[in-house]
Every structure is written in structure tokens, then in C-alpha cells.
Chains A and B, each alone.
Chain A
Amino acid sequence: MILLTMVARVADGLPLAASIQEDEQSGRDLQQYQSQAKQLCRKLNAQSPDRCTLETGDMNFHYLIAQGVCYLSLCEASFPKKMAFAYLEDLHNEFYDQYGRRVPTVTRPYSFIEFDTYIQKMKKSYVDSRARRNLGSINTELQDVQRIMVANIEEVLQRGEAISALDTKASNLSSLSKKYRSDAKYLNTRSTYAKVAAVAVFFITLIIYVRFWWL
């Protein structure tokens, strides 16, 4: 069962198209998964692995990055991985044909929301168990699916946070050291002043002494 499909631009995580299958029977609230999907799209970048499966509870996110576009789907954990990636692959082929060239230019979120129609059709053909059998034969080239990395969604989403935490710590450190530096300078000057003052006092006393008592 494919519950949610999202197509986004990798460069800035801008959502391009999406399709949501509200599940009346189970009444599952997809809101949480949706926001996870959104976050995920933002987190992904050119360095992310091309194909990956992320586990979140009893669901799996599968994503595929191709030509700067990320195809993400949320499936039940029981849904075969092979099918999921075949589905994403299909989406990619169609999407790239239709909109590939325009992807870098758009600014509006969900600019290609019309792709929804196609997504739904595809979804139906993949979910339908009778059709599935027919599809099974074409998926042989996806044998390497087993080697696809599996990670936990939490890890992926947290990764950025850790880095940003590190970043803030580092900047704190640098600002502290700056403060230390200026404080030290201040102390230095103060001690210099003190020295100068002491010497001055000494000489003034000396002069006064010479002026009044010596002569």
C-alpha cells in the first residue's frame, strides 16, 4: 500500500508534486508522516545516497534521487521494496519526460501538482495485486535493490540538528574566545596604566621632594 507520494527538487526541497491517499478505513492520520516527508525533502542534498529506505515505525519511506529530483513514497513496511523502487523509477521516467526541463526554473511550490493524476494511476496499478504479477517480470533489473541502504528516519532528521548544534557550539566558542581576548587586552592596558601611574607618582613625589625639601 502506497500512502503518500511526493516529488521534490533536491536543491532546495521545494515540493513539485504530491499525491495523498487518505485511508478512510484505517483512519490513520497522515499528517505526521507528511511533515516528516517535508523535512526529509529539505534535508536531502546532492550528497545523499541515490536510493534509500528509511524506517519510521511500521512504515517505510523509500526515496530515489535522479536528475536533481527526489521521488519519495511512504509505504507500509510489508510493501515489497522492489515494488516500491520500481514504482519510483516509473514515476521518475514519466516526470522527467513531462517536466524535467522546467524543474530548475519553477519557484512556486507544487508547480506540477497536475502530475498527481499520473501518480494516482501508477499507484493503482502497483497496489492492485492482480496487476502486480505482471509487473513482477520487468523488475528483474532491480535485483540490486537488496543493497539499498536502510536507515532510520530519526537518524536522518537528527543528523542536521547535530551539525547545527556543533555549529552553534563552535560559534559560541569563538565568541567566547573573542571576549577573552578583549578582556585580556583590557587587563593588559589597565596594568600598563597602573605601572605608568605608579612611575608618575614616584617622579612627582620626587620632584616635589626635590623642589621643597632639597632646595
Chain B
Amino acid sequence: MSGFTNLNSSVGYSQNSTPNGGAAPPYQNGPVQTYPAMYPPAGYYGAPPQQQGYSTIPGHAAPAPNKAPVTNNAHSANYYHNNHQQQQNHLPQHHVAPSPYSAPLSSAPPSQPYAALPSAAPPPTNAHYNQQPFQPHPPYATPGSYYGQQSYHPSSARQHPSLVPVTASGPGAPLYPIVSYPSAPGSSQYGTLSSSQSTSAPVGMPTQMVGAPLHQYSAAPPPSTTAVQPGYGVGPPGQTAPTVVNGQGSAAQNAVHQHYTQSHQASLSYDSYSGVPPGSGGADTDQPPSGTPSTSVHSSPGHHQGVQYGYVANSGASSASATTSGPAAAAAAAAAAAAPSSSSSDDDDEEEDEDEEAGGDTSSSTTGSASPVPNSYDSLEGGSYPDSMPPSNDMTNQAAPYGSYGYPSMQSAYQQGPASHTDASPSHDLYGQSGYQQYSQPFPNLSQLSAALGGLSGVPELEVEALRPVNLLQERNLLPPRPLEAPEPNVSSDLKKVNCSPQTFRCTLTSIPQTQALLNKARLPLGLLLHPFRDLQQLPVITSNTIVRCRSCRTYINPFVTFLDQRRWKCNLCYRVNDVPDEFMYNPVTRSYGEPHKRPEVQNATVEFIASSDYMLRPPQPAVYLFVLDVSHNAVEAGYLKYFCESLLENLTKLPGDVRTRVGFLTFDSTIHFYNLQEGLSQPQMLVVSDIDDVFIPSHDSLMVNLKESKELVKDLLTSLPEMFSQTRETHSALGPALQAAYKLMSPTGGRITVFQTQLPTLGVGALQAREDPNQRSSAKGVQHLGPATDFYKKLALDCSGQQIGVDLFLLSSQYADLASLACMSKYSAGSVFYYPSFHYIHNPAQLEKFQKDLERYLTRKIGFEAVMRIRCTKGLSIHTFHGNFFVRSTDLLSLANVNPDSAFAVQMSVEDSLADSSLACFQAALLYTSSRGKRRIRVHTLCLPVVNQLSDVYAGADVQAITCLLANMAIDRSVSSSLSDARDALVNAVVDLVSAYKSNVSNLQQSGLVVPASMRLFPLYILALLKQKALRTGTSTRLDERVFAMCEFKTQPLQQLMRLVHPDLYRLDNMSDQGALHLNDTVVPQPHLLHLSAERLSRDGAFLMDCSNVFYLWIGKCCNEMFIRDVLGCPNYASIPPNMSHIPELETPLSERVRAFLDWLQDNRAFSCTIHVVKDDASAKATLFQHLVEDQSEVASSYRDFLQHIQQQISK
């Protein structure tokens, strides 16, 4: 930390003299650059815990040593600002008559106050809120408020967008509706924001605070305010377009744009008003504004910066990062100001536009080509420099100094004026920031009011809603109308914008508790749910000679790191300061130099790097696929072979891979058959090895063959294979030896083994006994044999994992096949398990269809080979348990022989050390894999979450779905290691604990009944649903294999899928209205409401759709509308609906189109396509549907009501 101090003081100073100097102190980053600006809060400004600061006032008077530098930082920064003020003040003085204030400041050397206030300085974060510093120094305080006033026009105006306070509510309110995103969070946030501004905390505060200044304000400089308002009013409409383009919750952007415009205009008007000498004024349409607002901010309570800067800067940064904001602001500025330097602002426009395009490029680049190709840097650089260098390159360097440090030599800044228009983005940032800072000015008082929430970025309304106590015994309609979205972490809007998608990375608590004690108090599990290799629509791919990583913890550079200056960045996980390599200084996206914060790595939370050869132990392996097929009598009877061969033939060209792709086949019954497919043979040769005790490979290089070269032979084999064994009478299955052979075949290269098995293995190693007693299936005294019977499969899997071989198992058995043992082969080799109970190609068409669809997805989905994954988290947090299919090689390195886009992982974490010195916790998952085309790549996801110290905040950020999934994983571990009833008790206890913890700690309402925070209102329901799942239910007759398979699913399915399995979505289809319907490329997708899973919600005259993740049930009531049956199902009446209908005909009726549009929409993002079953009210299939109605009582399990009663009894005990 001391390094900091030095740096700031020395570098900062030196910079004054050489404004062009590269080393920009942290500050400069703020104003000039988007990213850095947002970091300070995370890194060191924010490091002193904000909330804590609020609550423990005295603590800050004696600051911890490590915080001192922060002060210094602020201090040095202030120094400049002060200087700056001095000069600036002279300008403002005239009009606003700030006499009392300018006197002390300009006379007193800026450093003096600080020297006088050594104790006050440390609390840069918050302590000054505590008045201590203020009171002894009234002059200071006054200037503060004074300045506050001054700057209020910008600030008050700028609050309008987000806060919709008094004045601007008119224009502000309509703004939000316009910005309607498909993604709910954004809009909902808006809604809440605007509606509940009075509720509390930072955002709300301005209303109070602003109230006062506003009056003064409007009294004092009327011209400027008026100037501001119109500008503001004009701004929004224009800006909505860009924001929509940008796509995601650009709440901040909107707000920010307006800041821009406003502060801009404000200052512009201000300047002209103040009668700045035309010589400078002409040039400085950009500059003075930047100067003025920021000065005023810093000036008065210089020490505020800590906190203020924290989020203030954040949002400022966000705005800047949204490149769109730039042009808007610039345009607005140009239009409103009609300034002498209009030409310059035009320049801004152009530049910003370029930026935008470039940005578009990155985002759209799904594969390597479009994105930065570093070696072309040179050429690019060479090409672009002649045109763009003077503006772009100089701009940053120049802008930097005067943005923050050039002030002392104000003249010089002015001199730069003419060139200043160059810095479109930097200066805008500045505005944004300054706007924010002013905005933050009023906080001191307000933040005292809402101390707890102050540190957060200002969406407390969400929190308030999340914390609304819900009495479960009274509220009956708990389900939201639409499927639950992941809660948004309560971080500043720009962090939110770059944060990792919740589909990829989700944390059970979106507000991380500061200490383990707090976590224990909350009685909620802390963990992550990951879906790292998910199919992505867009993914920035970065080719770079050096991948920038932290030198001590090896974290990849990510959007949440802090740039201390141009040359150094601070790791957000271990807080080490690292150098920025030279290559990183060049930004291939904008083709500009010296903007490390704009590199795609720091603009995206999910990126993919092309790895250098340092990341390879051996040359990237080719895609190698081996199919191990059961051809015993049982298998022939089930008839899967024909469908497998058909499917593979169809997808042979779609198998992921390149010209090196290799395939091989191996079949087995009581012997093992190899197939020689060597190029040049006229037909495949079968080689039979009957010695299953000591398996050997009959031929070395002709069994795994190049797919491209031997394609004809492979096709031959696939067409003849089903016939070859049609007459077999061999009933035994030597799976173990076959797997050993497969392992030997594959071990030189690694790859994927796909095993098809239809019965219990009976011969050779790995033979298994039938362990299940069908009569015990429904017994309540616990389920036996959930663990493997032999460790052969586990050992084999570990060997495979060591040789980079993944084993996937397709079990198609009608009898007990001991999946608990067999599944081990996939569990430890990072494979996947598919199970088709009672598969038969004639008798069970539903399973057949599912098998075919799954197989198609399986064969064509992406695959990564020889992968490893490491999850890193902020110092203080530690990961202790992993869930999923993998092998844990070292403490935190997951070895994944294969990685597929459909498997997910979960980890449990604990808080080892207090997280008090940071306000943000970050998690990074890095997956290194070889793509099927032989490219070594690293996919990096980074998630950033706030750290809180209040129990209520922890509850407000609880993610009920993630918690449910993590608990399910834990329960499954428990049921294998201990017993099923233990696991079930633990789940019930989780609910009991939550309710009692909430009751005793947070809710002060003396309500009787079950009270939980609104964020967790679905928790008991989900837990009840979990208890009724196949994996965890008791009482009902559940076949052991099905139970074990359900457990495997829980371990590997991604969250969304899992939640639909646990708690299916139920919709009524026959009376869908267009209300709230989505319009996606000229199809209307109606959005019916979710219904509770209870039979009382089904009515005889309706048609209901139940979405169980991999299967849809369409339930048709007895008295269902004839028109629906006719239009959608194509049957004249209810009676004529065939009993096993499993598709929706494509009819031309509007109703049918809407139903199909809705179904398609539901399936849209699912990996495995779903089958649909039409269930009639009287059909026997009704039972399968009704078992999903988890709120109802079944023979053995209680209803939701009873469950709640039970919980209540447990609590009152």
C-alpha cells in the first residue's frame, strides 16, 4: 500500500509538469477511462468497507494503517483538485459569489487542511460523514455545501433520470417504459426505482437532500437550471435507441447519458455565463465543464471521495463504457451548446462512432477471426496511425493529465484546449463522473440515515422488495407470473452490465456475507453454480501473445480489476499490483494505444483466449470417438442398435472435429469384437477377442481410423452392424473387459468413449450382482445400494481421466442394471449419463423418440478435450466441496477429460477470513480445453458480487433457486454417504433453520406463522418439491436405477433445467391472451401466467401445459373447449384424441400457431429437444402428470399446507 502513496504523490506531481506523461495515477483513470473509474471502488477506494464505515463511526477516527494510503491517495488527488479549484473558483466566483469559500481555499494551500486533519483524512470513505472532520473545520463544510449548490444543477438534473425526483419526473417517468427490455431485470429495476424513490438509501436520499439545495439552487443560478432541463428533456428520446442497441440493462446508461448532457450543458451554460475569456472558452467547450463540476465536487469534502468515488465513479464509468453514451452526449452538447467549437464535437461523434463499431465487432465475433488478431497489431497500428494517431493517441495522453492532474497548471490545460476536443470519451467520462460526484455530495447526511444501505450502489428498492416479510401461511399465491429470474447482484449498474450471465455463473447468495459468523447466522448455504461450457450466442475470442494474469494468484485479467494507472493493474482476487504488459496497451478493437481498460478482456466478463503453447503439455489432440456397443441378446431385443447406427450415419459429418478426427467401434457380448477400418480395405474386418481375462488389442493402428479417410468403411460398418447380430443368442455381457480394451485403444490419444449398455454386466472384471429387492422399493426404512458395488468402474474412470479419456454412458435397460456402480465410469471421467428405463423400440415409442433426440444432440454438440477447470475466488473465501462429474486433481483443479456444453458444476464455499477490507467479492472460473478443431482455448468467466455485513442484506440477495439446487446436491451426497432419511431431514431442517433464523434476527414483526423474506418465499415450496423428486422421495415405489439416475441428473444438470425438473412450470393454454406477449421476428409469443402445481388449478374445461424440462405434458380436460381441441390438436372432439399422442400438428389456425410459438419459445434455449405428451383426463398417463403436482398430497407425501404446518411445529418445538 505504501507503494501507492508514493506513486500517487510522486507520479502525480511529476505529471503536472509533464502533462503528457504516460503514468496516470488512479484518479486519472477514473475520469479519463471507463474501466479504471469503476474499479477504484472495488479495489482500494471501496476496500474500506463502506457500510461498516457508516455504522462504526469511531472506528474510522483511528484508521487502520492499511487504509492510510487510501487517504493519501485521496489526499493527493484532492490536492490537485484543490489546485484546480483555486483556479476554477475564480471563474465561478463571479457569478455565484462563493466568497466565503473561495477565500479559505485559495488562500490556504490545499494540503493544509489535510495536514490539519490527519485523522480525518483516513476516513476518506465514510468517516467524514460522521461530522468529525467537518465540525472542526466549518469553512470546509461550507464550501462543501456551497459547492454542492453550485454543482447542483447538473447533479439535481441528473438525478432525474434515475430517481425521478421532483422536477424532472415528467420527462423522467416516460423514459423508462420506452426502454423496455425483454429481460425483466432491467425494466423491473426501473419500475422500482422510479416508484419507490422515497423508500431509502442513496438513491432515495437525494429527494430529501436535494430538496434543500435545490431550492437554493434554483434561486441562485436560474439560467443554468433552465438550460439544463431542456437539454435533459431532449436527451432521452434520442438515447433510448442506442441503449436498446446495447441490449442489456442500461439503466445506468440512460441515467448517465443525461448526466453527460446535463453536466455538459450545465457547464457550458455556466461558462458562457461566467464570461470565461473567449479565447479559452471557445476552445474549451469540453474542458471547462470537465473542470468545473469535478472541482466543485472534490473541493469541499475532499475526503468524501473514498466512498463517493466508489460508486460514483462506477456509474460514471459505466456510462463511459457504454460507448453509445458518448455520441449522445456529444451530440447533445453540440446541439445545445452551439458552441464555438462545434466542429470539435463533431469529431467526437465520429470517433465515438468508430468505437461503437469496433465494439460491435468484438461482441459479434464468435470465433477467432473477427476479434483482435494481435500479430496484425503492427500492421493495424501502422495503418491507423497516420489518420487516427493525432486525435486518438494524443487524446488519451493529454486528456489524462488535464482530466485530473493538469489542473494545477490550469493555463496549460487551457492551452491544450484547442486540442481538447480530441478526447471524446475521456472528457465525457469526466462529465459523467463529475455529475456523479456532485450527486454524491448530498450523501453525507443522507447516508447517515440509511447507513446500512449506503455502501450499495443504489437499488435498495429491490432489496426492500426482496426483504418484504412474507407469511407463508397467509399468502397463497407465491409464484410470480413468469418463471423466476435470477436476482441481480446489488452492485453498481456498470458492474452489473459487465457481470457474468446468471445462466453461466450463479451464486446462492448474491450478497456475500462478510464473515463466516454472519453466514452461519443466515443459515443459508454459500456456493456457486456453474455452467461453464454453455453454448453461447456471442463470445469474444482473444488472440494474444501474452495472456495477462496476476502474477501471484494467476487470475486472468477481467473487468473487475483496478487499473492504478496506465502501467499497472491490481488484481481483484488477491489485491496484488501487476504490470500491464506493453502488448496490452494496444487495443485492437479501437485500434488505439494506451487504453488497456478498453481491451475486450476488461470489457467482458466472459471471454475466450487462444492459449499459447505454454498451456499445452502436448500438441493438441485430435477429436477421437470410440463407440462401445452392447450387442448381446438383450440389446438386440431392445433394438437400439439400428437407431444408433442410423443416427450416427446421419450425423457423421456433423461430429465435431477436423480432418484429424478419428473414430473406432467396439462391440461386445461375452466376447469383444474390434473392427479394422483401415483405409484401403474393401470392407470392415471384424476381429474377435474371446480372452476376456487378459484383454489385448489385436491391431494397433487400424482400429481407430481417420474418419475422413475411412468414411466409406465406417458407413459400411454402420449399415451392416444391426444385421450382424440380429440372430445372436449370447446373453452375457462382458462390459468390464470391453471397457479395458477401450481404454487401451484410446490411451495414446485421449478422447471420448461412448458406452451403450442394456443389462447388468455379468462376465469378467466389473461383473455385478442384482442388488435391488423390488419388494423393498417403497419401504420407508431407507434405501440401500445407492453407492457402487465395486470400485472397478471408478478405478477405470480415474485411469481414463489420467489419459484424457471421457466415458459417457447410455443405459437402456428394462431390468435393474446397477446404475449406481456403472455411473462411476462417467462420474470420475467427466462424462455424462443417459438412462432410458424400459427402452424398447416397439413397445416404448416415447423412450425411443427421446433416445433419438438425445443422441442427435449428443453427437453434434460441442466438445472440449483434455480440459481442466479452476475456480478462483477473492482472498478470504475458500471452496471446499465440488459437485458434478470430474476428478479433483489437486485441491482446486478439476480435471475434465471431456467437457460438454450440457453439464454444470456446483461448489460450496466458506468464508475463511473476514472480507471486511473489500466491498466486492469476485469469482473466476477458467476452463482450459482443446476444441474439437485442435485449438487450445481458455474460457474465463468472472462474477462480481457485493460484500455485505448486514443479515438483512444477505437475505435480500438470496437466490432461492440456486440455494435449492445447491441443497439438492448436498442432500444427494448425504444420501449416498449417510442415508436417504438423513438427507431428507437435512432438507427439512434447512427450511426450519431459515425461518427461525429470520424470525430471531431480522424480522421484528411479532407475527405468528411462518415468516420468510420475500426473496425466499418459494423456498419451502421448492424443498417440498425436492423431497418429492425421484431422487429423494420415499414411500412411493421407485426403482433404484431411476433414483440413482435422478441423483446423477441433480449433480450435472444446469440450474434452469434442474429447477424445471424440481418444480415444473404449469401454464393454461386454452385462454392465452396477447397481454404481455412477446413479439419476436413477427411471431407473437403469448406469455401465459405460471400456475401453482396443484390439482385445484387444473380445471376440466381447460388445457394445461406442464413444462418438466425435458418433457412437456399437455393435459386436456374432459370438458375442454372443442375449438381448442380442433384447432390445436386437429381432432374433432375430446373423445377422438388418440391416447398416445406425442406431437402437436402444424395447423394453420391462429390458436395452433400461438400454441406452437409458445412451445418453440420454451424450447428455444434448451440443449436437448423436448418431447411432448398429450395427456387426456382419463388416461393412465394422468398419473405421470399428477406426480409433478407437488403441492398436492400424494399417498405418502404431505401437501404444501401440511408441510408448512410441519415446519411450524418444528420451529415452535
State the CA gap A6–B616 with chains docked (Å): 14
A183 CB within 8 Å of chain B:
no
A107 and B545 in contact (CB under 8 A), knowing A31-B617, A38-B613? Answer: yes
Q: Residues 14-36 of chain A: 1 if any B CB is under 8 Å from the residue's CB, otherwise 0?
A: 11011110101000000100100
Q: Is A15 within 8 A of B613, CB to CB?
A: yes
B215 CB within 8 Å of chain A:
no
**In the complex, chain A residues whose CB is within 8 Å of the CB of B543:** 107-108
Q: Is A113 within 8 A of B618, CB to CB?
A: no
Smallest CB-CB separation from B935: which chain A residue? A108
Number of A residues, CB within 8 Å of B: 22
**In the complex, chain B residues whose CB is within 8 Å of the CB of A17:** 619
Q: Residues 1055-1084 of chain B: 1 if any A CB is under 8 Å from the residue's CB, otherwise 0?
A: 000000000000000000000000000000
**In the complex, chain B residues whose CB is within 8 Å of the CB of A34:** 617-618
In-complex Cβ contact of A114 among B616, B618, B659 (8 A):
B659
**In the complex, chain B residues whose CB is within 8 Å of the CB of A109:** 611-613, 616, 936
B158 to chain A, nearest CB (A): 45
Smallest CB-CB separation from B622: which chain A residue? A116
State the CA gap A22–B745 with chains docked (Å): 12
A5 to chain B, nearest CB (A): 10
Q: Is A19 within 8 A of B613, CB to CB?
A: no
B882 to chain A, nearest CB (A): 28
**In the complex, chain B residues whose CB is within 8 Å of the CB of A20:** 618-619
Q: Is A24 within 8 A of B619, CB to CB?
A: no
A48 CB within 8 Å of chain B:
no
State the CA gap A15–B618 with chains docked (Å): 11
B620 CB within 8 Å of chain A:
yes
A117 and B373 in contact (CB under 8 A), knowing A14-B613, A107-B543? Answer: no
State the CA gap A117–B543 with chains docked (Å): 26
**In the complex, chain A residues whose CB is within 8 Å of the CB of B450:** none
Q: Is B610 within 8 A of A108, CB to CB?
A: yes
A113 and B700 in contact (CB under 8 A), knowing A24-B748, A108-B543? Answer: no
**In the complex, chain A residues whose CB is within 8 Å of the CB of B934:** 110, 113-114
Q: Is A15 within 8 A of B619, CB to CB?
A: yes
How many B residues touch the partner, as a band?
A: 20 to 34
A146 CB within 8 Å of chain B:
no
State the CA gap A70–B611 with chains docked (Å): 22
**In the complex, chain B residues whose CB is within 8 Å of the CB of A105:** 375
Smallest CB-CB separation from B377: which chain A residue? A107
**In the complex, chain B residues whose CB is within 8 Å of the CB of A124:** 701
State the CA gap A20–B616 with chains docked (Å): 14
Q: Residues 34-50 of chain A: 1 if any B CB is under 8 Å from the residue's CB, otherwise 0?
A: 10001000000000000
**In the complex, chain B residues whose CB is within 8 Å of the CB of A116:** 619, 622, 660
Smallest CB-CB separation from A8: which chain B residue? B613
Residues 598-630 of B at the A interface (beta carbon under 8 Å): 610-613, 616-620, 622
State the CA gap A117–B710 with chains docked (Å): 13
Q: Is A117 within 8 A of B618, CB to CB?
A: no
B1195 to chain A, nearest CB (A): 57
Interface centre among A31, A110, A113 (most CB of B within 10 A): A113
Q: Is B619 within 8 A of A113, CB to CB?
A: yes
State the CA gap A160–B873 with chains docked (Å): 39
B1127 CB within 8 Å of chain A:
no
Q: Is A117 within 8 A of B660, CB to CB?
A: yes
State the CA gap A18–B617 with chains docked (Å): 12
B747 CB within 8 Å of chain A:
yes
State the CA gap A114–B660 with chains docked (Å): 6
Smallest CB-CB separation from B748: which chain A residue? A22
Residues 365-382 of B at the A interface (beta carbon under 8 Å): 368, 373-375
B742 to chain A, nearest CB (A): 14
Q: Residues 111-152 of chain A: 1 if any B CB is under 8 Å from the residue's CB, otherwise 0?
A: 001101100000010000000000000000000000000000
B658 CB within 8 Å of chain A:
yes
Q: Is A117 within 8 A of B659, CB to CB?
A: yes
State the CA gap A122–B982 with chains docked (Å): 62
Residues 719-774 of B at the A interface (beta carbon under 8 Å): 744, 747-749
B514 CB within 8 Å of chain A:
no
State the CA gap A15–B616 with chains docked (Å): 11
A sample of 23 cross-chain residue pairs with beta-carbon separation below 8 angstroms, ordered by A number, consists of A6-B619, A14-B613, A17-B619, A18-B618, A19-B619, A24-B748, A38-B613, A107-B374, A107-B543, A108-B368, A108-B610, A108-B935, A109-B611, A109-B613, A109-B936, A110-B613, A110-B616, A110-B619, A110-B620, A113-B620, A113-B622, A113-B660, A117-B709
Apart from A22-B747, A107-B543, A110-B620, what are 9 other A-B pairs with CB-CB below 8 Å?
A6-B619, A15-B613, A24-B744, A24-B747, A34-B618, A108-B543, A110-B616, A110-B619, A117-B659
Q: Which residues of A contact B (CB under 8 A)?
A: 6, 14-15, 17-20, 22, 24, 31, 34, 38, 105, 107-110, 113-114, 116-117, 124
A-B pairs, 8 with minimum CB distance: A22-B748, A18-B619, A109-B613, A113-B934, A107-B375, A114-B659, A108-B610, A110-B619
